[in-house]
Structure 1
Amino acid sequence: MKKLILFFFLSLTTLSFSQDKKSTKTGEITFEASVPSFEEVKATNKGVSCILNTKTGEIAALALVKGFRFKVALMEEHFNENYIESNKYPKAIFKGKIENFDSSKLSSAAQKFTIKGTLEIHGKTKDIISIAYIKKTGNSIDITNEFDVNVDDFNIEIPNVVSKKLSKKVNVKCHYVL
């Protein structure tokens, strides 16, 4: 009987803690560094992990760099080997906080929030501020945000041969259903 009561309380404790966090392993990040009149430079990673603490608004996301897929295989190879050096820097990590986040006030209509945090790519960390649109979809929380990063901030070198074909300002779009 003691074991049954202990099991019940442990289960209840686990459930109450797990309700404070929402997560996914199927988040999506798309980035684009295209320049007009040249071939599209765009990639998507559909295996991004993201976790949100619904009580504090703290959020973190992790993307394996080799998970980004391009339309052109050669671009993917150059991205991993020459630019981002994914063997040396295999992860892109964001850690931050959604300002004034209150999960109890979410509805099916997207609300605008500011997310402040740090983005680590290519061994460098940079402060990032972005606008996110967050809504409740059933039991899930849907987060969409977009921001720009400059490759120079992360010491990503673009060779002169292709410098006119790639933008140094990269647009990043994220979507998570937690």
Structure 2
Amino acid sequence: MKRITVLFVALLIGSTVFSQKMITRSGEIKFDATVPGAMDEVIGTNKTVSAIFDKSTTELVILGLVKSFKFKSALMEEHFNENYMESDKLPKATFKGKILNYDAKAGSYDVEGDLTIHGITNKVKTKITTVNDSGKMVLSGVFNIKLSDYKLDVPSLAKKTLSENAKISLKLALENK
């Protein structure tokens, strides 16, 4: 019985020590489609983003629920969910890709993959920064997208406040699984 217990503990410790996957369920994404110089900001923040990064394969997967974006204005949040993102029909936004040339050191890396918003998937590539902080790896970066690439149309009445381009910023504090 002692051998089984020792073996179980050794396997448990070994899998934890050699685990290559890092996760978060409290990542942050900011969606900013503010027209430069406009009085109203079109900025939504989602602080319940899930992500997993596999250091051995450098695969990165990010998932955000669209309804979890919060805006300063309740009306803007309603328009975002109902008129643009159709979050009841298309509830998720995802990124599935790889960090290129990752070497486990803090620094700047290229990341590329498939970004899915509003049910439309496009290939994207951008830079991310990694920082090691108290046993966590913090990933941060920005995706610049054209809303029309994701079949998100800006009505002429909204063009003074809603840009046809959006900046999607992310900050993910990942921990060993």
TM-score surpassing 0.5? Answer: yes
Q: Deviation of residue 16 (structure 1)?
A: 4.7
Q: What is the number of residues matched between the two proteins?
A: 172
Greater fraction of residues in strand: 2
Q: Deviation of residue 3 (structure 1)?
A: 3.9
Identity between Structure 1 and Structure 2 (%): 40
Q: Which residue of 2 aligns with 1:44?
A: 45
Q: Deviation of residue 55 (structure 1)?
A: 1.7
Q: Which residue of 1 aligns with 2:122?
A: 126
- 2:171 pairs with 138, 156, 175, which one? 175
Q: Which residue of 1 aligns with 2:24?
A: 24
1:153 paired to 2:149? yes
User: Structure 2: which amino acid aligns with 1:29?
Assistant: I
Q: Which residue of 2 aligns with 1:142?
A: 138
Q: Which residue of 2 aligns with 1:162?
A: 158
SS at match of 1:51: strand
CA deviations on 1:65-90 (whole Å, 9 max, x unpaired) are: 00000000000001000100000000
Which runs of 5 or more residues in structure 2 are unaligned? none
CA deviations on 1:30-71 (whole Å, 9 max, x unpaired) are: 011111233111110011011111122111100000000000
The answer to whether the Cα contact below 8 Å between 1:57 and 1:102 also exists between their aligned partners in 2 is no
The answer to whether the Cα contact below 8 Å between 1:56 and 1:101 also exists between their aligned partners in 2 is no
Question: Which runs of at least 4 in structure 1 moved beyond 4 Å after TM superposition?
Answer: none
Provide the rounded CA distance (Å) in 1 between the counterparts of 2:25 and 2:156: 37
SS at match of 1:157: coil
Provide the rounded CA distance (Å) in 2 between the counterparts of 1:167 and 1:161: 12
User: Structure 2: which amino acid aligns with 1:58?
Assistant: E
Q: Which residue of 2 aligns with 1:94?
A: 95
CA RMSD of aligned residues (A): 1.6
Provide the rounded CA distance (Å) in 2 between the counterparts of 1:116 and 1:148: 13
The answer to whether the Cα contact below 8 Å between 2:38 and 2:160 also exists between their aligned partners in 1 is no
Q: Which residue of 2 aligns with 1:61?
A: 62
1:77 paired to 2:78? yes
The answer to whether the Cα contact below 8 Å between 2:120 and 2:150 also exists between their aligned partners in 1 is yes
Moved more, 162-171 or 124-133: 162-171
Provide the rounded CA distance (Å) in 2 between the counterparts of 1:152 and 1:72: 24
Which runs of 5 or more residues in structure 1 are unaligned? none
TM-score under structure 1 length normalisation: 0.90
The answer to whether the Cα contact below 8 Å between 2:60 and 2:96 also exists between their aligned partners in 1 is yes
User: Structure 1: which amino acid aligns with 2:144?
Assistant: D
CA deviations on 1:15-40 (whole Å, 9 max, x unpaired) are: 255x2011111110001111123311
Q: Deviation of residue 4 (structure 1)?
A: 2.3
SS at match of 1:161: helix
1:114 paired to 2:110? yes
Provide the rounded CA distance (Å) in 1 between the counterparts of 2:154 and 2:38: 18
Provide the rounded CA distance (Å) in 2 between the counterparts of 1:15 and 1:101: 21
Provide the rounded CA distance (Å) in 2 between the counterparts of 1:133 and 1:57: 14
